[in-house]
Each structure stands twice: as structure tokens, then as C-alpha cells.
Structure 1
Amino acid sequence: MSKRLLLDTTPLRNPAYRRLWIGHGVSFTGFQITSVAVPVQVYQMTGSSFWVGVLGVVNLVPLIVFGLWGGAVADHMDRRRLLFLSSLLTWVATLGLLAQAVLRLELLWLLMAVVALQSTGFAISSPTRGAIVPRLFSVEEIPAANTLSYTFSQAATLGGPLLAGLILTRWDYSWAYALDAVLFTVMLWAAFRLPDIPPLDGTEKVQGTPGLRSILDGLRFLWTQPVLLMSFVVDIIAMGVAMPRALFPELADTRFGGESAVGWLFAAIGIGAVLGGLFSGWIGRIRRQGLALVVSIVLWGLAVALAGLQHSLWAAVALLALAGAADLVSAVFRTTILQTYAPDELRGRVQGIFTVVVAGGPRLGDMRAGIMAVAFGAGVSWVFGGLACAVLVVLVGLASPALLRYRPDAPDHGPEERSSKQVT
């Protein structure tokens, strides 16, 4: 098989990126275990998909507030230090989940509060980590680095739920949260071992403090960049309309055979993304990145809709895996467009907005899916979301010719040289 079709691993030769890649991938596996354990615990406590959907709101509010603020801070201070501190906050919240499970408190409000704290740490660390990667590579190397990062993240999305299904079948929630806490220590090590990553040229390019004005500067920049703006819009549609995961606990119980099925449903998207990542050598050669982004999200929506029509667990898993492969492609292109468009002095803030979109979109999807499940049934909610996503993204693409025409090497779309200064 041609090496041009296989995953490009050359970014792993960079020691700083390699540590970041390992730390995030391992810790994200634990995070995915918790991401299954918490909704299953909430469903068992309440017996309602509505409250599982409410988890989306509980996660979303900190993501919006602290994702924007964290991105602004990342433009004003050493990004290594900020990543370490925010990761430490996430780890403390994970210990809180472990404590409430060990003590068998069964308090819904407490569980929601700890989840919100965990979301706060994630909201700050995610834009910080995203703003670090372009400082480690040249512009040409960024797509390969993003593909590697997303593939490992999706391997975690695959392995974490499968481990969660095994743990929840044999033991209780405390074992899931304990494993998450242990795995997350690898992220603390990785952040601590990164080189210092201060703002470029000291403080000459970053004025003021990371407050509201600084955040508004990032929003104003985004508003003036139609390609960036529309890439955010289609991603919100993909996750906020089509994401079916809030329905997995209920449909695993009523359609697919119980707790042993829930892990497979949560893992299925990761299966497809990992397989897609292993054969992703072609992604870096695609020049019409905007068109590729739109097409991949349409395929995501259609595959999700078809999966919702299935009554066979394995057929649903296969179609969700196809959706996951399409999602990997869209994730690489939307991340690459962002990182090569935004100058370094604004990259943290734009990455913060991106974090709100990428991490907040699925939470909106959880809320939408839960509300529609109460009104129309879980199956209808699942299929409708996928079809609506495909239709809306086609309409947005037709209304946004700049996005469909976008090429990173076009004369009016080239990345600024000042954003490519590397850290060694």
C-alpha cells in the first residue's frame, strides 16, 4: 500500500509536540470514560433522557464563558503555564466525581456542579493547546499535526467508551472516575514538560489585559473573515443539530440490548475516525479545503440519519463509524483553516471561539436531542437531526461561495508569515 495513503507521522519527530500528543491522547481516553459514565449515572438516577440532555447545558455555559476568556488569556501569558494550570483544574474536578461516587451521594445537583467545574478546566485548556500547535510547526506541517492529534483523540473516543462499557457492566461509577483521574496525570506531565511559549516578541504585539475588550477584538477579527466565520457555522450545524449521543443510553436500553450496547454506540464514531485517520495521507494534498469541509459534514449528517433507522446494533455502529470518518476529515480542515488564517497574537482568542463552537456544539446537540426525544421519541430525534444537518449545510455552502472556493495557497488567502514562528 502506498505510504501516501497512510497517516503522516513526521510531526512526532518534534519532541514538544510528541509529549503534547501523548498527554492529550491518554488523558482524553480517561475523559471519554467519564463522558459515558456521567450520562449513564444521570439516566439511572432520573430515568429520563431529558436530564441527560440537561448535561449539555451544564457543560455549555462554562465552555462559552471560560472558552472565550481562556483564549484571551492564552494571547497574554505563557501558554505552557496556562495549559498546566487549567489541566490541574480539570484533574481536581475528576477527583470530585470520584468522591461523590465513592460516597454514593446520589445528588443530581452536586454531580452537575462538578461536571461544570470539569468543563471550565477543559474550556481553558482546549484553546490554549490549539494555539500552541502552530507555534511548533511550519504552515505546511500543520495539517499533518492536526490529523495526528485528531486521530489519537478519536482513538480515545473509541477506547474510552469501550472501557466504560466494560467497567459499568462489572463495577460501579467510582472505578470509571478513578481510571480517568489516573490517566489524566499524563496530561499534567506533558504540560509541565513543554517549553515556555510566551506571546510572540514579548509584549509588543499583545496590548492590554485579557478582558472583555480583548475578547471583542477576537470576535471582530472573526466577523471580518467570511471563510473562518462560515467554517464555524457549518461546524455548529454538524454538532448542534446532528449529534445523537444523548439518545444512546435510552436506545441502548430499549432497542439495542442494554448497558453492553451503550459502550459500542459511544465508541462507534471513534472507530470510524480512527480508521479514517490511519488512511489519511491524502488529506494534506487536498487544496479545496472549504469544499472538502462542506462535503464531509453533509456525509456526516446522512450517515447519522441512516444509523438512527437501524434496529441492528452492528448496522448502527457501522454507519456511525462512517459518520466518524467524515467527521475526522471535517475536523482537520476546519482546524487547519483556523490555525493558518489567524495571526499568533489573535490565535488564542479565535481558538477560544473555536473551542466554544467545537465543544459547545455537541452540548447543544445533547440538549436538542433530549428535548426532541421527550416530544417525539428518541428514534425520531436521532434521524431528524442527521437529515436536518445535511440539508442546512448544503444551503450554507450554496450561500457561501467564498468557503467553497477557499484554498490555503490562493493569493488572497495566504497565511501571514508572522504566525509561523516556531518554538523549539
Structure 2
Amino acid sequence: MNTEKSDALRTRAREVVLAAVRGLTLAVAVLPCSVAFLVLTLLSVVLIPVGVGLFTTPAVLTGVRALADTRRRLAEEWCGVRIPAAYRPVPAGAKPWTRTFRMLGDPQTRRDVLWLPVDMTAGFFTALLPAVLLLYPFEGFAVAAGMWRVLSAGGTYWYGFVPVTGGPTQLGAAATAAVLLFATYRFTPRLLTVHFRLTRAVLDTGGGELAERVRVLTETRQDAVDTSAAELRRIERDLHDGAQARLVAMGMDLGTIEMLVERDPAQAKRLLAQARRNSADALEELRDLVRGIHPPVLAERGLGDAVRALALRLPLPTEVTVDLPGRLDAPVESAAYFAVSEVLTNAVKHSGADRIWIDVHHTEGRLRVTVTDNGRGGAAIGAGSGLAGVERRLGTFDGVLAVSSPPGGPTLVSLEIPCASS
């Protein structure tokens, strides 16, 4: 039992010291960073009318965002305080004017800028408080022991609210220091949490995350509607230009055959052969059309076998790893299948790779698929590669797409969709 108590005391002592060190580190970094970014932000905004600010403001606001994101990460890692962020995306390749005013009009960015003066004042104080509370009791013990040099000059020295003139009054300083040391033991880790809660109170837009979620869902819903309409037009066009045209031609051939079957049997046989070819071609086109809507192998065998079938049709050696405990929802399987198909098409056309690896697995309630090639790299979302369309399609299901493609390769495209497995 004594061993458990001593271990608990040591653990608590480490927590107290760690909170004090972390708070002191934050306090040292808070003041210069916040002051610098606040001054740079104000200067950049003032310089917008002369044009210079159009180029400096986005860079400065990106730095402010990085500072705020660092504080969010530390808040969650150190004290479990989650500070949501709801930044509005800025279009890639936007002009300086558009980029500047998109960022200035973002409520979350305005919160970040508002947070800077709070962080350099109240934030500095709350970050420094854990270290002060830890160190201040030792001054009281030094005063009580007569080692505090100011006492040698005579007069009254105030330790907190206790006047110390020497002799018995030094016991009052020792008692105060003991009380403060107990308060340090009890409250120092919580004081660091106070700093991060203050940060959350300023940075949190209060429903901004929900508003951003509604905005994203609205956009993805519109994308889904547009995609469905485009798909219907494609199906109609393919039917009209392909299978329908062949069936019409076959009907005309059959009509001609009826007239020639008695007068010119040889010509009728040639037309019959042509009609049979048209029938086979129309059937093949209809199968391709159905495969483009929802491949039969996907409906019958599931995502894993459908991806394997995709890999077999590629002109490159492809290694497929599948770890799925069961079937996924049909819409999720379809979205993942066509996303993988698009990524593989990009890899074959643009990467210059000679080998591709596909990994499909389901874990922690999420479907994760990675496609890796050993090509030249340089792939990016929105660079005309079709990945932007994949990202929008996945967004309908709350999915995300990530691309890592440094120059020289390799390229790794990963997609993730939250879903259940049956």
C-alpha cells in the first residue's frame, strides 16, 4: 500500500513539474509569436490598397493559421482539450486578390487574428501561472530560512500577503509557502488546462464546425446531383450512338433479308451474317454500358474481387491485397470501385510506372484503399488528373482523398470512407 502511495505521489509530482515546464515553454513562445504575427497582419492589411498586401496577407494569415493549429494540437495532446477548426477552402491557383479576400472573409481566420492579442495578454498570464505557482513556494521557504537576501537590508519584505521582518514572522512565510505548495500539487495541471480553455473560447467559432459541415454537405450533394445528371446523359448518348444504332441497322438488314431470301439467297446469307455481327456488337456494348454503371462482378462478388478484376485488365503488373471482413454497403462499394478505377487510369496514362500496388482493407469502421505506383510522381488534386472529381465523389460519403507524389515518385493515393461491414 505504501509503495502504491509513493508511486502515486511521484506520478503526481511529475505531472506538476511537466505542467509547469510546458506552461513556461508556452509563455516564452506566446509573447514574441503573437506580437510578431499581430504586427505583420496589421501591416499587411494596411498595405492591401497599394497592392503589396495582396501578396503578403495570405502568407501572414497562413502563418497565423499554423500558429493556431499548433496550439490546437498541443491543447489536445497535453490536456485533452479539443479546439475545432472550420477553415473555408481557398481555390487552388486563385489570384492574389481572390485569395486575400477569401481568407479575410473566413470567420475562422478572423477568430485566429482576434486570438493574437488575447494570447499575448491573458494567454501569456495563464500559461505562466503553473510555473509561478510551482516556484513561488520555494521563495517562501527561502525567506523562512533567512536565505532571502532582501531581508539582510532590514525593513519589511512582503511574501504574498505576509509581511516578513525577521524572527517569528518568517514562520508565517513558511506556512504560506506550505499552503501554496499544497495548492501547486492539487491545481497546477488544471491551470494549464485553463490556458487551453481560454484559447478554445476565442478560437472556437461557436457552431462554425457545424456550419462548415453543412456547407460541405451542400456542395457534395450538388456534386452528386451533377454527377448523376452527367451519368444519365452519358448512358443516353452511349445507347443512342452505340447499341441503339446497331439494333436499328440490324432491323433494316432483317427487312432487306425478307425481300432477298427468295430472290437472292446468297445476298440474304451475307446480310444475315452481318446482322449476327451487329447483334453480337450491340450485346457487347450493352454489357460494357452495364459494367460502367455497376459492374456485375461488383454486385455479385464484392469490392475485393471487383478491384482484382480491374487489376487483371491493366497493362502493368499489379499486386492486389484485400482484407475485407464482409460486404460493404452497395453505394460505398460503387464509389470506392470507380474511385480506384479513376486512380488506376491516371497511373497507367500519366505516371510512367512499371508496377502498381493496391491495398484494400476495412478497419475501425472505415474502408481504406491505397494505390501506389513507382512512376515519376508529380500527381496532385486539381491538376487536371481527374482526382478532383474523385475527391468530390468521395465527399458525398464523408470520405477523404490524400495524395503523396513527390517529384521522382513514388505516388501514393489513399482514400478513406467511413462505413460498416456486414
Q: What is the TM-score when the length of structure 1 is the normalising length?
A: 0.25
Q: What is the TM-score when the length of structure 2 is the normalising length?
A: 0.25
- Larger relative contact order (Cα-Cα within 8 Å, sequence gap ≥ 6): 1
Higher helix share: 1
